[in-house]
Structure 1
């Protein structure tokens, strides 16, 4: 094989490190941006944090709030409570503590310590609790637990019955039927039709076969319906509310307020630390030796890029939000039912930027509206158009109308998907029955058969 050298020219698009930082900062949420700024502040010595900006944050106790707290404290405990404390702590930063996320295992082990006095029972209980899944069900067979612990199945069952008396009710069950039975017994409703539903008709309940259950149990559909309502009040996943990720906080990127009949977009500066370049290092850049100057120059160059990119992020988001407000005035005035069809490409074209820039500008970000916090992505919705393209409704409008129809329907004569499509047509929202079904399921509404009441 002959080997030879050759040259070729290729074009390749690559992003510089600075441009990569610009893109990355734009797509960060407010909380993520704060973390990134604090990390850069700790790593780059030429950056200083503006103390006045931190003092303006919502977590800082203002003079007015301090006075109000002093008055409350004096009312509750007398003046001694506040004296000495106010002088030193008036400017202390108060931060909300995240709620503790206790796991199901920790909760049950705590109860087991008070329930089982014998060491052997506590050992078995600890093993059983450790074998529960995230929903609180025991998925390991009793005989396997007995074999591992060198205990009898009767011993394991006796401890399991103790665990099944713990809170949350239904924990330690081996299947759905046992889980519901435990909860019903605790509520003293495990009798009559409720017991029959749990023991023989769970599949029928899931499919809303009310008439069939009534026929087999020799009672009226209304009695079955009442029992089903009780059954649906039980929790099929008793362990599902424990543990999980730490509590997260939504910090609005912008505030949209109505002033003199017009909506004004204001930047939320309170949560983001303000940085500036240290005067000490500016002087050292003039007076230091060559090696020191070179180090400071590099760090200062990095700091300037960061500050510029933060400001560019701010300007881009403000431009995008102002364009959103301009297009969605009806939504801000009247609510979700008035949300107009708007895509990111429409906003990008108006602003003369790329669609991906709009996507990054709204990703994971929220706006404080007069009626609450709202995700910026929520302002965007696709068109719901038929082949004639005569309609100009958004998916949000269709869902809003569907919710209105479903919430006001006669429960004894629920509306079918076809009927809902006809009602939407009367409002000039033309979508197919299949699309109605998709939206209905997305909103958590069951089919007309399952919604029917007796």
Structure 2
């Protein structure tokens, strides 16, 4: 076979997107609060854009954006909302990530006007990059503020002054390394009172705060979880053996067998060695605000967007005509045209985003009707692909729409991703059930057990099969750990000590 250069002609198809289309697709992944911040920036950049509230103060010279579905006076029903944009104003935001190619030579109108890649995604053209919203955050409740609030609720008089002095010396990680004697001298208080108040502060939230060592921090968390028995106390006092991996010595010191020691070490690793780090240091994290509301409307469900976080935009065309008549040089007129094009594009993108979100949310509500009517036990298995096929879109689009967005209903506030769960085959050969439904039944079985009849994982398997769930023992153990519920040995020891069934909180300490 001869080897040599040759020329071949090949024909292929790929999606080449302009920067504006890339930006429109990115808007799908933003929550309503993030969109609100983004719109606020665009209002500052583009003189032709204004909010509906600002326009009401002056004469009506603006052209309003087409009201997105979900901003009507009455909520739309599920059937009414499963619609797609059409006509020239519609943007096709249904894109498969695998076929994306950037158009480096494409028309970049609007980028300098604030609606290009630099608007929310930084300067890069990477499709997978998310916006940096750290700058949108304000100041969060700090650890010191959290502790001072608790001290004000539980202490008064001289004890409150001592507690405040102690809290001032607590590190950002939650540890207290200051001298109690120095605090006593500075306040003119007995050392015994300072030590007593420190003990009270150590009972504050988060568990483990104001500890003077790692051992004390872990011991405080074990006490808070009602798991500080003599064996656990000896384990915490001998952490150096654990660090060296000398498990034989720990078994002898704690007087436990291999299974108990393994459970104790697993509990210990669930504690947080730096409890203060979960609090901000002056950086506020905004609370979760629902993006979609679901409510009853007769025998069906009404789905609508949370329009309170979506300001209605207007394009002031009268102002555009006024500026265009006054602009003389070509550069000014080109900039003004870009501003107008960017404003029109933004309204189209926001309108299509609203329609796409409603379309996806409506399909989720249709599929999970049992959950909204009867609760988590009736949650059905659901995948992105199933929703995508039902609404005629690609699953990459559904993934974007359901990212960072929350749905509010009578049963509470849920992330849209919550409704996508794996399935467990029914023991009687019927329809598969959601993993979340199985977890709900598992939690109920464990909550109903008494101190004298702790259920093992094998017994839980049999009880769940009796309920129609064909599930393996290792799956039961995985779900139990995901729920923060200890093993049968842990629960038996805990109930023998008279503790509650409070699971240890997971942390990153390993």
* TM-score, structure 1 normalization: 0.65
My pick for the range that moved more, 273-282 or 436-445, is: 273-282
Q: Deviations over 1:362-403 (max 9, x none)?
A: 111111202322211111111124899865111011111101
CA 1:330–1:183: 2 relative to 1, 3 Å: closer
In the alignment, which residue of structure 2 is the partner of 1:176?
215
In the alignment, which residue of structure 2 is the partner of 1:278?
316
Secondary structure at the aligned position of 2:485 is classed as: coil
Alignment of 1:96-135 (within 5 A): 101-104=141-144, 129=169, 132=171, 134-135=173-174
Q: Find out whether 1:441 has 2:481 as its counterpart.
A: yes
Secondary structure at the aligned position of 1:171 is classed as: coil
Alignment of 1:82-101 (within 5 A): 101=141
Paired residue for 1:369, among 409, 415, 419?
409
Paired residue for 1:17, among 16, 19, 25?
19
In the alignment, which residue of structure 2 is the partner of 1:265?
303
2:56 & 2:35 partners in 1: Cα distance? Answer: 15
Question: Which structure 2 residue ranges, 5 or more long, are not aligned?
Answer: 1-6, 58-136, 152-157, 185-190, 203-208, 243-251, 257-270, 497-510
Verify the 8 A CA contact 1:417 1:433 in the aligned structure 2: yes
Secondary structure at the aligned position of 2:408 is classed as: strand
CA 1:104–1:33: 2 relative to 1, 3 Å: same
Q: Does 1 or 2 have the higher relative contact order (CA < 8 Å, sep 6+)?
A: 2
1:8 & 1:383 partners in 2: Cα distance? Answer: 47
Cα distance, 1:249 vs structure 2: 1.8
Alignment of 1:159-308 (within 5 A): 159=182, 165-166=197-198, 168-169=201-202, 171-177=210-216, 180=219, 200=234, 202=236, 239=276, 242-243=279-280, 245-284=283-322, 287-288=325-326, 289=328, 291=330, 292-308=332-348
1:405 & 1:177 partners in 2: Cα distance? Answer: 35
Alignment of 1:419-434 (within 5 A): 419-434=459-474
2:434 & 2:334 partners in 1: Cα distance? Answer: 57
Cα distance, 1:280 vs structure 2: 3.2
In the alignment, which residue of structure 1 is the partner of 2:450?
410
Paired residue for 1:343, among 363, 377, 383?
383
Verify the 8 A CA contact 2:438 2:469 in the aligned structure 1: yes
Cα distance, 1:105 vs structure 2: 9.8
Structure with the larger helix share = 1
Q: Find out whether 1:353 has 2:386 as its counterpart.
A: no
Question: Which structure 1 residue ranges, 5 or more long, are not aligned?
Answer: 1-5, 56-96, 117-121, 143-155, 188-192, 207-211, 217-233
1:251 & 1:53 partners in 2: Cα distance? Answer: 26
Alignment size in residue pairs: 352
In the alignment, which residue of structure 2 is the partner of 1:399?
439
2:475 & 2:340 partners in 1: Cα distance? Answer: 56
1:273 & 1:44 partners in 2: Cα distance? Answer: 15
CA 1:279–1:409: 2 relative to 1, 3 Å: same
Cα distance, 1:180 vs structure 2: 4.5
Verify the 8 A CA contact 2:295 2:303 in the aligned structure 1: yes
Secondary structure at the aligned position of 2:309 is classed as: coil
Q: Deviations over 1:28-68 (max 9, x none)?
A: 0111110111111111111111117999xxxxxxxxxxxxx
Q: Deviations over 1:301-336 (max 9, x none)?
A: 011111100000000000111111111111100011
Verify the 8 A CA contact 2:423 2:433 in the aligned structure 1: yes
In the alignment, which residue of structure 2 is the partner of 1:226?
none
Verify the 8 A CA contact 2:427 2:468 in the aligned structure 1: no
Cα distance, 1:183 vs structure 2: 12
2:488 & 2:427 partners in 1: Cα distance? Answer: 28
Superposition CA RMSD, Å: 4.6
* TM-score, structure 2 normalization: 0.58
Secondary structure at the aligned position of 1:367 is classed as: strand
1:54 & 1:406 partners in 2: Cα distance? Answer: 59
1:311 & 1:19 partners in 2: Cα distance? Answer: 14
Secondary structure at the aligned position of 1:270 is classed as: helix
Cα distance, 1:279 vs structure 2: 3.0
Verify the 8 A CA contact 1:252 1:373 in the aligned structure 2: yes
CA 1:349–1:54: 2 relative to 1, 3 Å: farther
Cα distance, 1:274 vs structure 2: 1.1
